[in-house]
Amino acid sequence: MKIAVQFSNPFVLIFLIGTIVSFILNHFLEFIDYKARCKNGGKLPEEIKDIPAAVETFDTEKLSKICQYENAKYFQFIPSSLCSLVLDLLLILFGFYPFIFNIIRNWVCGSADIMPATIGKSFLCFFLFTILSGLPNELLAIPFSLYREFHTEKKFGFSNMTIKLLITDTIKNIIISLIFSALLTFVASLFFIKCPESWWIILTAVLIAFTFIMQIIYPKFIAPLFNKFEPLPEGEVKDKINEILNKTGFSNGGLFVMDASKRSGHSNAYFSGFGKTKRIVLYDTLMKSLTPDELAAVLGHELGHYKLHHIIKRLFVLIPLEFVLFFALYKLAQMPALYNGFGFTAIPASSIGSAQFIGLYLAVLIYGAVSEIISPLVNHFSRKDEFAADAYAAKVCGTGENLISGLIKLNSENLSELLPPKLYVFWNFSHPTLIERIAALRKKEAPTS
């Protein structure tokens, strides 16, 4: 069967224009960031020249290393994004997705069936299509990922990854992904067949419930497959952290240290789970980088997100949006023009009900092409929450100085950029820059006249 993509189709046009515009926009932003780095990257920002810890940490060698690391990532971004753009366009222009679907449909259903009519056949078509349609991009990412991990990250002292560890990680990730993908695609196939007009409500509720369940399952059963989690040993660090926890009235399911250093030298800390399953996890790299007071301040920041109800507030916004989004996807999945435009002419209008997973996939593909336009809005609210969490940490610790020195060390250890352009920050940064965070913390502590 000849596959013909309709280039004048509005859905195809939205995808093509959105993909190309997003590509140009991202390259423009990365370029102005690169030029700003070339101009100011080797200089200590004026805003932190009066901070001894900053002057000591960001010497000429460190500033140069930050620039080199950011430049290395930029020069990898160029060919990687270009290859991704070309592949994405070729997959659409040459009808890869309908080609794969026709092969799967003919194998699962036989030539006599136009579309899968049973839950089992629908599930098998959906599951195989999900895997095979994503395979080209996964394969393309492999050489770039290997180069980043075993060249760039090792060159700058971050990567401790070995080939053996990479292979075992990959196998574990594939198995876990297949299990959860099979589970979710089966549930979706069930509702596509049984509830063709209301699956969007049920599937949204299922995905939201799944997200909450994963918050309980992940820290207890999945994360330990990749890392060791040891209880935080007794000592000054634990005492400082418990002091902060007692001040905030935060109950948790344990304090743990994760052996992150076996893969990477990057530092971090995070919370996971709900209720009694809530865990506070510190990277062992973080433990080595910061003093007990600085660790307590960084933890105070994370506690701020919980105590200020940032997560709950975000859920109150995201959950209704999830229903709106899935309703929009449902409506798109009913439109024959969506299927015809991308070459799925073997799906007649009368059979769309059992093939809505194709419409859902195409709608998500289009959304991905234009989603860049909402990233500044999402990042704006995220940065606002980060400022509030910093202020909370300073309040509960009695001073913002420990958080400032901790942030300086983390920025230095992770070789994060100091002076990115404001437009770049506005569009791409979910966290404020180090300079902005320090300025906000110092303003809070400044005496009022």
- CA distances, 113 to each of 4, 97, 146, 252 (Å): 22, 19, 43, 55
Cα–Cα distance, 403 to 298 (Å, whole number): 6
Q: How far apart are alpha carbons 347 and 380 in whole angstroms?
A: 42
Give 185-214 as a 3 state SS string.
Answer: HHHHHHHHHHCCCCHHHHHHHHHHHHHHHH
| Measured distance CA(386)–CA(233) in Å, rounded | 29
Length of the chain (residues): 449
Structure tokens that stand for 258 in this block: 């994760």
Q: Answer for the pair 93, 448: CB distance below 8 angstroms, yes or no.
A: no
Of the residues 302, 386, 413, 436, which is catalytic?
302
Q: State the Cα–Cα distance between residues 141 and 160, nearest whole angstrom.
A: 20
**CA-based radius of gyration for the chain:** 25
Return d(Cα 280, Cα 310) in angstroms, integer.
Answer: 17
Spell out the residues 6+ positions from residue 172 whose beta carbon is closer than 8 angstroms to its own. Answer: 225, 226
- Which SS3 state, helix, strand or coil, does residue 220 take? helix
How many other C-beta atoms are found inside a 10 Å radius of the C-beta of residue 439? 14
Q: Is 302 a catalytic residue?
A: yes
User: What phi and psi, each to the nearest 5 degrees, are found at residue 186?
Assistant: -65, -45
Q: Are 172 and 188 in contact (CB under 8 A)?
A: no
What crossing angle do the helices spanning 292-307 and 401-413 adopt, rounded to 10°? 100
Q: Are strands 255-258 and 269-272 parallel, antiparallel or unpaired?
A: unpaired
Element (H, E) at 292: helix 292-307
User: Three-state SS for 150?
Assistant: helix
Cα angle vertex 392, ends 216, 318, to 5°?
A: 45
CB 5 within 8 A of CB 338: no
Which residues form the catalytic set?
302
